[in-house]
């Protein structure tokens, strides 16, 4: 039965066209944005995971920047410690030269004075971004090492610590007061020796206060033992800084790789398959044309009824 009031064929064709248009709209959105899941309505679970992981990746990017800053601080401290080792080695050579008969110890002391002041200059200059890791009171220096989300979904920032020790055989060249002024009476270079170190009894001024002008041979021997202990302490401190530097480098590499892995994982969840979407787009455009044509045919069927009333 044909009705001029109800066109079932046209309604069916229109419903088909609407469905095709909706699918075409979704496909065009995926093609233009590159995302298969761009909003929570597309897939709430995957969208939530992707949003969280993108947030974590931004935090990892900040960690990477912090690691770069930390690496600069540690590298500055290591360079200062390495230079201090060279200067103390030179002091050791001067003391050995002073043990020779007939040597003018006054002239050697003049050279030692310059080397001692150079150690202070090294300690004062070894600052990066307002932090000095080779001069300071006993305390803890820290650099950001990682951003962590644990199994309970709690987040935290992990730190790598370097504990400063301003003692006789600690890991800083000199101590520092609360005003940021170098204290030349503390630290490896500034602390005097007065006791048994290993199997050796050493009583002598600090490396910074050392004056060999009137030293006897025995005192020179004691000074050599003290300088040797200082070199060991400086070497140990340099090793600590080198270990932290290596750890930071490894962490930088890991954070970079982790960030790439997170990007890749999020992409698998939400990125559109462009080859598939391109094929769908072509198919849907064809379906749209056919649906429009079907609707046109369905609408024209009512016009055909007019021929029944022509004389």
pLDDT in tens, 62-100: 888 888 999 999 999 999 999 999 999 999 999 999 998
Tokens matching residue 194: 């007065």
**CB proximity list for 96: less than 8 A, separation 6 or greater:** 224
In CATH terms, 44-270 corresponds, of 3.40.50.12280, 3.30.1960.10, 1.20.1330.10, 1.10.1370.30, to 1.20.1330.10
- pLDDT class of 167 with cuts at 50, 70, 90: confident
Is the predicted pLDDT of residue 152 greater than 90, yes or no? no
Q: In the numeric block, which tokens belong to residue 287? A: 């379906």
Strand partners, 93: none
- Write the CB contacts of 15 (distance below 8 Å, at least 6 apart in sequence): none
What phi and psi, each to the nearest 5 degrees, are found at residue 304?
-65, -25
Q: Which has the higher per-residue pLDDT, 234 or 32?
A: 234
Of the listed ranges 4-18, 102-116, 189-203, the least confidently predicted one is 4-18
Contact 275, 77 (CB under 8 A): no
pTM to 2 decimals? 0.77
Assess whether pLDDT exceeds 60 at residue 279. yes
């Amino acid at each position: 039965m044909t009705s001029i009031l109800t066109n079932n064929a046209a309604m069916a064709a229109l419903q088909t066209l609407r469905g095709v248009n909706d699918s075409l709209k979704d496909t065009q959105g995926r093609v233009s944005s590159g995302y298969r899941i761009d909003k929570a309505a597309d897939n709430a679970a995957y969208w939530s995971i992707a949003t969280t992981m993108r947030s974590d990746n931004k935090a990892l990017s900040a960690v990477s920047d912090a690691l770069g800053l930390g690496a600069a601080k540690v590298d500055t401290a290591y360079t200062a410690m390495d230079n201090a080792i060279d200067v103390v080695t030179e002091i050791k050579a001067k003391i050995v030269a002073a043990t020779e008969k007939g040597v003018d110890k006054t002239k050697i002391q003049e050279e030692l004075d310059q080397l001692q002041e150079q150690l202070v200059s090294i300690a004062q200059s070894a600052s990066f971004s307002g932090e000095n890791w080779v001069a300071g009171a006993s305390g803890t220096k820290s650099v950001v090492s990682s951003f962590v989300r644990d199994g309970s979904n709690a987040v935290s920032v992990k730190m790598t610590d370097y504990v400063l020790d301003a003692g006789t055989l600690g890991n800083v060249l000199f101590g520092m007061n609360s005003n940021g002024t170098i204290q030349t009476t503390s630290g490896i270079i500034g602390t005097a020796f007065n006791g048994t170190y290993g199997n050796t009894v050493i009583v002598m001024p600090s490396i910074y206060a050392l004056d060999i002008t009137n030293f006897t041979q025995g005192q020179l021997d004691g000074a050599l033992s003290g300088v040797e202990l200082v070199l060991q302490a400086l070497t140990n401190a340099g090793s600590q800084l080198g270990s932290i530097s290596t750890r930071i480098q490894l962490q930088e590499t890991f954070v970079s790789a982790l960030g790439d892995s997170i990007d890749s994982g999020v992409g698998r969840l939400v990125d559109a398959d462009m080859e598939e979407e391109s094929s769908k787009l072509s198919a849907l455009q064809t379906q749209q044309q056919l649906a429009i044509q079907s609707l046109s045919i369905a609408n024209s069927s009512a016009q055909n009824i007019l021929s029944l009333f022509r004389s």
